[in-house]
Amino acid sequence: MGDFIGPLSGGIGMFFVPTVILSILLGVLWGAFAGAMPGFNQTLAVGIALPLTFAFGAIEAVAFLCAISVGVSYGNSIPAILVGIPGTASAVLTAIDGHALHKAGKSGLALGVAYFAALSGQFVSVLFFILLVVPLSGLAYVFLAPELFALSVIGMTAILSLTGRNVLKGIVAAGIGLAFTMVGPDPIGSVPRFTLGVLEMRGGLQIVPITLGLVALSEIIRAARQSHDWQGVTESFDARFPSLRDLGRTIRPVLGGTIIGTLIGCIPGMGGTPAAAVSYQQAKIFSKHPEEYGRGSIEGVAANEAAQNAAQSGEMVPTLGLGLPGSDSMVLLLAALTIHGLVPGPLLIQESPEMLQAAVAGLLGATLILVVIGWRISSVLLAVVTIDRRLVLTFATALIIIGVFALRQSIFDLILLLVCGIVGYFMSRYGYSTAAAAIAVVLGGFAEAYLRQGLNLARNDWGNFLSRPITATILIFAVALLIYGIWSTVQHGKSAKQAMLEAMDVDIPPR
């Protein structure tokens, strides 16, 4: 019990540190603001803010980035409901039911239920987060170099097996991330590799410009292909908070969504989108009004919002507990830790328990701030929804460039950012997961070091290395995930081809 109370009380204690609470306030406001902008996802919101964390201490940086995640998840329900455009994929179902309610003149009901469910889900899931992450960190000293190598491998394979449509492209993507980590001194003998005589490459490439380029700038380049603005939020609507009776109807889907969201969020590569989908489906099955789902169901909005917010805390479990980022925004969180000289991995919480407390402070503090001001600032966020998309893209591009420059005042880092941006653009357009590449950038360097140190530990014998029980178990699990990935690639290829033939109205031969 003390293990649970310690991080919780430590996190709450941080509320009384002025710099921490200010960081949380700034983070949650920026997150809610960014989330309310249609087409602005969590990765972009965290990505823009990431370089600024060099001006913060490590504790403030973690609390700030966690608070942004909470703010984005809350803010993105607003464009989903009012414009019908989800800021993130996980808000798609909120967009369907919430926008239907908006069109039926029940905007206040939809916004109020989203507010209630999002914050309830977030609040309860923080407690689950502590319960799950503390036992994981207790395993830290069981993990030596071979186990840490196996963890790095599963961190990379999980996301490409669970999210990619073509697993071979996913492995290539992870390989591209790994290739970036090979530039500079090798991790054992410090022999220079792939420096091409460039002075700036002798010490290795910086993680932040690479990850920001791959996951954030690439998305902006993709979005810049199209010139348009979001429509449909000009009409007036009622914004009365829902009654207690209406909120009472949503308690069961909120609880279900919170549990499902936290558990699914814990699995690297899953995150908010499948959590929201499973939670929505579960709520529909147990609902007394399943016919309302998809046509304006407050239970559907509640289940979806609770799950996607709870998934935020879930994603933190492998990220902080094992150093395995569950999503691209978690990769950026780990990149922020490296700015402050911290090494992501199972030892992180054992050696720097204040990081866990900072995460709890960020998640919990941001939720409490939103409880107080969330409903009131929604009228301000409504104005944000109408900001022109083209201004948003320009703002985001310029701010990422200036932010990366601010880190080290290096033009080389900016060129690296842009090169990774265009590489990431082609990767994401043609099915090479940029998230897998970014995760490999963060984990890859450590993976090679652990592999080589681990082999030394195993007296240079692969048999000894691979037969360590925990290493073998994790690697077998990684192989199983890869097999699953290959199977789903084949299945997806078949169904995509079928769908395309149907769309082209081609005669399909019977099977």
Partner 1 sequence: MDRRVDVAVALAVVALGVAILVLTQRIADSPVPDPIGPRGVPTVLGTFFVVAGILLAGRRLIGWRDGDTFVPHEGSDDDPGVPPGSARRALSIWLAALVYVVTLPWVGFIVGTPLFTAFMLWRLEMNRGPLLMIPAIVAFPVIFTAACYLFFATFLGVRLPLGFVREIVTRLTG
| Closest listed residue to residue 153, CA positions, set 427, 432, 448 | 448
Answer whether 121's CB lies under 8 Å from 283's CB: no
Contacts (CB under 8 A) with partner 1, residues 50-79: 52, 55
Q: Which span sits near partner 1 by CB under 8 A: 66-74, 90-98, 274-282, 420-428? A: 420-428
Q: Is 429 in the site for partner 1 (CB under 8 A)?
A: yes
Query: Phi then psi for 382, rounded to 5 degrees?
Result: -60, -35
How many residues touch partner 1 (CB under 8 A)?
Answer: 70
Nearer to partner 1, 15 or 54 (CB): 54
Gyration radius (Cα) of the chain, Å: 23
Nearer to partner 1, 301 or 414 (CB): 414
The one among 455, 466, 470, 472 contacting partner 1 by CB under 8 A:
455
The one among 1, 16, 18, 228 contacting partner 1 by CB under 8 A:
228
Helix, strand, coil percentages in the chain from 3-state DSSP, rounded to 5? 75, 0, 25
Contacts (CB under 8 A) with partner 1, residues 128-167: 165-166
The one among 3, 291, 497, 502 contacting partner 1 by CB under 8 A:
497
> Coil, strand or helix: which one is 240?
coil
> Coil, strand or helix: which one is 510?
coil
DSSP symbol at 508: P
Q: Is 201 in the site for partner 1 (CB under 8 A)?
A: no
Minimum distance from residue 250 beta carbon to partner 1 (Å)? 30
Question: In 14-57, where does DSSP find H-type helix?
Answer: 18-36, 42-49
Binding flags for partner 1, 296-335, as an x/- string (CB under 8 A): ----------------------------------------
Nearer to partner 1, 286 or 426 (CB): 426
409 burial level (CB within 10 Å; 0-12, 13-18, 19+): exposed
Nearer to partner 1, 194 or 487 (CB): 194
Distance CA 159, CA 328 (A): 10
DSSP symbol at 509: P
Q: Is 289 in the site for partner 1 (CB under 8 A)?
A: no
Q: Which span sits near partner 1 by CB under 8 A: 143-151, 184-192, 232-240, 274-282? A: 184-192
Q: Which span sits near partner 1 by CB under 8 A: 149-157, 240-248, 373-381, 389-397? A: 389-397
Q: Which span sits near partner 1 by CB under 8 A: 154-162, 223-231, 256-264, 307-315? A: 223-231
* Residue 185: strand pairing partners: 192
The one among 3, 238, 351, 388 contacting partner 1 by CB under 8 A:
388
Answer whether 152's CB lies under 8 Å from 449's CB: no
Helix (H) or strand (E) holding 489: helix 469-503
Nearer to partner 1, 151 or 458 (CB): 458
Answer whether 273's CB lies under 8 Å from 227's CB: no
Minimum distance from residue 426 beta carbon to partner 1 (Å)? 6
> Coil, strand or helix: which one is 351?
helix
Distance CA 192, CA 282 (A): 54
Side-chain half-sphere of 18: how many Cα atoms within 13 Å?
0
CB atoms within 10 A of CB 256: 22
Query: Phi then psi for 266, rounded to 5 degrees?
Result: -65, -25
Contacts (CB under 8 A) with partner 1, residues 15-44: 39
Query: How far is C-alpha 195 from the chain's CA centre?
Result: 32
Q: Which span sits near partner 1 by CB under 8 A: 141-149, 174-182, 240-248, 372-380? A: 174-182
Q: Is 379 in the site for partner 1 (CB under 8 A)?
A: no
The one among 72, 100, 306, 427 contacting partner 1 by CB under 8 A:
427
Distance CA 334, CA 459 (A): 32
Nearer to partner 1, 84 or 112 (CB): 84
Q: Is 356 in the site for partner 1 (CB under 8 A)?
A: no
200 Cβ contact partners less than 8 Å away, ≥ 6 residues apart = 410, 412
Q: Is 9 in the site for partner 1 (CB under 8 A)?
A: no
The residues that touch partner 1, with contacts defined as CB under 8 A, are 39, 52, 55, 165-166, 168-169, 171-172, 175-176, 178-179, 182, 186, 188-189, 191-194, 196, 221-229, 388, 390-391, 393-395, 397-399, 401-402, 405-406, 409, 411, 414-415, 418, 421-422, 425-432, 448, 451-452, 455-456, 460, 493, 496-497, 499-500
